[in-house]
């Protein structure tokens, strides 16, 4: 019975069908089946089609059956960029920003990322796991079934590894699947003040090889930004990560245009993220090389920065993904409904493009488009059931969660009808 479920009579079965990132106009194609059904057997999708065509051969006794009449069913969402494991909070910075202080100004004054570094260094493994678990519960209730999670609040060997170990434990014990990213080069810690090259040497030659050897992370990331780490420094670190067998991603062109998108293209990164200031040339390079452009509108909203040029990117044949960037500083939000509203109302994405960006293209941004991100036979049985008949309600019901049930690997793990409690 475990992992066996039939969802039937869905007013819309939004399959998002595909096994690789969708680019440009392909992002509009959601492949919706009216009156749809999906069968998950032993955790994997075994059949997808119209309810009237459901094979009679399926022995329903071994399956939980969910009636989705009047409801839309979608693939589980993939949040492909987060910093969800951290210690402490930075609520005072929010007030500083309201008073006009800039994000980089706060950072230059020793606040920002390095203040979370202090709190994370002081947090035990247990505290990191328990606070991370609560955040995952919340994300699951929004329909997220796979999440990428970065280190980067240790900036020393032990804390970086502790963050990654917390993610391993969360992946093992929580229904959410976690994809781990090493972000040891997220900022310069106090003890390396004035010694940026020495810090990068330490990360590249000591911590990164250990992370790769112990398989603590699959991806390597860096905050490539004016005043943080330059394009040349990012190139050096990421080249080493690739030599060690890791996949690449980077925080690129977030605040200042310094050629981060071009670097992502040059290095054949899996994705380039933020891109608020990406140049036309950078965008066309991303499109040409098939690198996923991961956009984080909640961060732009929170920092009152201009939104990334999502419409332009899709019109220029990019594969765009959307993610929350949940973190304690620039964007303390895991809100999928608000993300959808911003992407559609302020970045010019259509609802269909936004759905693709958070499903199949999110999966592609974490190199998993072959196994998650759509309702296709053979993929993981991860699905979201809305309390409304159409996917169009997601941004329309602004800022409010429209998710009624979440299925993970063929098991019901969240049910709003159960008082909003997690079933797991
Ligand atoms: O993606 N820009 C760099 N890193 C994070 C912010 C981290 C923080 O403020 O704590 C981001 O926005
Ligand atoms: Fe980030």
- Segment 9-53, tens digit of pLDDT: 999 999 999 999 999 999 999 999 999 999 999 999 999 999 999
Between CA 293 and CA 58 the distance in angstroms is 41
Q: Which two tokens stand for residue 99?
A: 């008073």
Q: What are phi and psi of 264, to 5 degrees?
A: -60, -40
Q: How confident is the model at residue 58 (pLDDT cuts 50, 70, 90)?
A: low
Identify the pLDDT of residue 1: 65
Task: Give 330 Cα–ligand 1 centroid separation in angstroms.
Answer: 5
DSSP secondary structure of 305-358: PPPP-HHHHHHTT-EEEE-----SSS-----HHHHHHHHHHTS---HHHHHHHH
Identify the pLDDT of residue 56: 75
**Ligand 1 pocket, Cβ-based, cut-off 6 angstroms:** 83, 112-113, 116, 223, 251, 254, 299, 325, 327-331
- What is the rounded end-to-end Cα distance, in angstroms, of the chain? 15
Q: What is the mean pLDDT of residues 192-197?
A: 97
Between CA 73 and CA 274 the distance in angstroms is 29
User: Which residue has the CA at smallest separation from atom 9 of ligand 1?
Assistant: 329
Ligand nearest to the CA of 82: 2
Identify the pLDDT of residue 418: 82
pTM over 0.85, yes/no: yes
Give the count of beta carbons closer than 10 Å to the beta carbon of residue 42.
11
Task: Give 206 Cα–ligand 2 centroid separation in angstroms.
Answer: 23
| 113 CA closest ligand 1 atom index | 10
Identify the pLDDT of residue 422: 60
Q: In whole angstroms, what separates CA 3 from the centre of its chain?
A: 24
- In DSSP terms, 422 is beta-bridged to 414
Could you give the percent of the chain with pLDDT greater than 90? Answer: 94
Ligand nearest to the CA of 271: 2
User: Which residue has the CA at smallest separation from atom 3 of ligand 1?
Assistant: 223
Identify which of 101, 295, 331 to mutate to test ligand 1's pocket (most ligand atoms within 8 A of the CB). 331
Question: Residue 127 burial (CB < 10 Å; 0-12/13-18/19+)?
Answer: middle
Ligand nearest to the CA of 120: 1
Identify the pLDDT of residue 111: 82
- CB half-sphere exposure, 295, CA atoms < 13 A: 36
| Residue 399 neighbours by CB under 8 Å, 6+ apart | 335, 337, 338, 341
């Amino acid at each position: 019975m475990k992992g066996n479920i039939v969802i039937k009579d869905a007013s819309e079965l939004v399959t998002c069908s595909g096994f690789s990132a969708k680019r440009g106009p392909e992002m509009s194609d959601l492949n919706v089946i009216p009156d749809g059904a999906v069968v998950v057997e032993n955790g994997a999708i075994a059949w997808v089609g119209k309810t009237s065509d459901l094979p009679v051969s399926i022995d329903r006794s071994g399956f939980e059956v969910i009636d989705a009449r009047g409801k839309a069913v979608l693939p589980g969402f993939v949040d492909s960029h987060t910093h969800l494991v951290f210690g402490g909070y930075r609520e005072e910075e929010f007030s500083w920003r309201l008073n006009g202080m800039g994000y980089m100004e706060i950072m230059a004054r020793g606040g920002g990322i390095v203040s979370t570094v202090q709190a994370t260094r002081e947090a035990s493994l247990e505290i990191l796991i328990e606070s991370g678990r609560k955040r995952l519960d919340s994300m699951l209730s929004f329909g997220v079934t796979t999440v990428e999670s970065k280190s980067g609040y240790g900036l020393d060997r032990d804390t970086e590894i502790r963050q990654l170990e917390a993610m391993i434990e969360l992946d093992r014990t929580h229904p959410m699947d976690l994809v781990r990213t090493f972000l040891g080069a997220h900022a310069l810690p106090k003890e390396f003040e004035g010694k940026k090259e020495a810090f990068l040497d330490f990360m590249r030659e000591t911590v990164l090889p250990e992370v790769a050897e112990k398989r603590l992370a699959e991806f390597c990331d860096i905050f490539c930004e004016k005043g943080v780490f330059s394009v040349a420094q990012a190139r050096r670190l990421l080249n080493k990560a690739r030599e060690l067998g890791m996949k690449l991603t980077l925080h690129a062109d977030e605040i200042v245009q310094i050629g981060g998108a071009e670097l992502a293209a040059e290095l054949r990164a899996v994705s380039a993220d933020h891109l608020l200031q990406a140049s036309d040339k950078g965008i066309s390079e991303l499109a040409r090389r098939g690198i996923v452009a991961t956009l984080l509108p909640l961060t732009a909203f929170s920092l009152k920065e201009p939104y990334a040029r999502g419409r332009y990117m899709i019109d220029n044949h990019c594969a765009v993904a959307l993610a929350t960037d949940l973190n304690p500083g620039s964007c303390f939000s895991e809100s999928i409904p608000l993300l959808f509203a911003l992407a559609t109302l302020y970045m010019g994405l259509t609802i269909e493009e936004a759905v693709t960006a958070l499903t199949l293209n999110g999966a592609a941004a974490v190199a998993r488009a072959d196994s998650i991100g759509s309702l296709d036979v053979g993929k993981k049985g991860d699905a979201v059931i809305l309390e409304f008949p159409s996917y169009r309600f997601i941004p329309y019901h602004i800022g409010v969660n429209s998710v009624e049930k979440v299925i993970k690997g063929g098991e019901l793990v969240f049910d709003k009808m159960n008082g909003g409690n997690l079933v797991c």
